[in-house]
Amino acid sequence: MTIEPLCSVAEPTEAGEYARFLTDIFRQTYGHGYAEDRLERHIASRFGEAQQRAELVDPARWTLRTAREGQWVGFVMVNRASAVPRAVAAARPAEVERFYVGAEAHGSGLAQQLLAAAVERAAREGHDALWLTVWQHNARAKRFYEKVGFVHSGMHPFEFDGVPELD
- What does the pLDDT look like over 124-167, one tens digit per residue? 999 999 999 999 889 999 999 999 999 998 888 888 888 888 88
Answer positive or negative: Cα dihedral of 29, 34, 35, 38: negative
- pLDDT at residue 5, rounded to an integer: 55
For residues 49 and 16, give the distance between their C-alpha atoms in angstroms, rounded to a whole number.
5
Torsion from C-alpha of 68, 53, 101, 84, nearest 10 degrees? 150
Asked if the model's pLDDT at residue 1 lies above 80, the reply is: no
- pLDDT at residue 167, rounded to an integer: 86
Asked if the model's pLDDT at residue 110 lies above 60, the reply is: yes
43's torsion region: left (phi>0), alpha (psi -120 to 50) or beta?
Answer: alpha
Is residue 62 within 8 Å of 100, Cβ to Cβ?
no
Asked if the model's pLDDT at residue 116 lies above 50, the reply is: yes
Asked if the model's pLDDT at residue 69 lies above 90, the reply is: no
- pLDDT at residue 145, rounded to an integer: 96
User: Which residue type sits at 99?
Assistant: F
> What is residue 108's three-state secondary structure?
coil
- pLDDT at residue 3, rounded to an integer: 45
b/e per residue 43-54 (b: at least 16 CB within 10 A): beeebbeeebbe
pLDDT digits (tens, 9 = 90+) for 13-31: 999 999 999 999 999 999 9
Q: What is the CATH number of domain 8-166?
A: 3.40.630.30
> Considering the chain, what is the average pLDDT of its residues?
93
For 122, residues 6+ apart whose C-beta sits below 8 A from its C-beta are 78, 94, 130
Asked if the model's pLDDT at residue 64 lies above 60, the reply is: yes
- pLDDT at residue 112, rounded to an integer: 95
Asked if the model's pLDDT at residue 2 lies above 70, the reply is: no
What is the domain partition of the chain in residue ranges?
Answer: 8-166
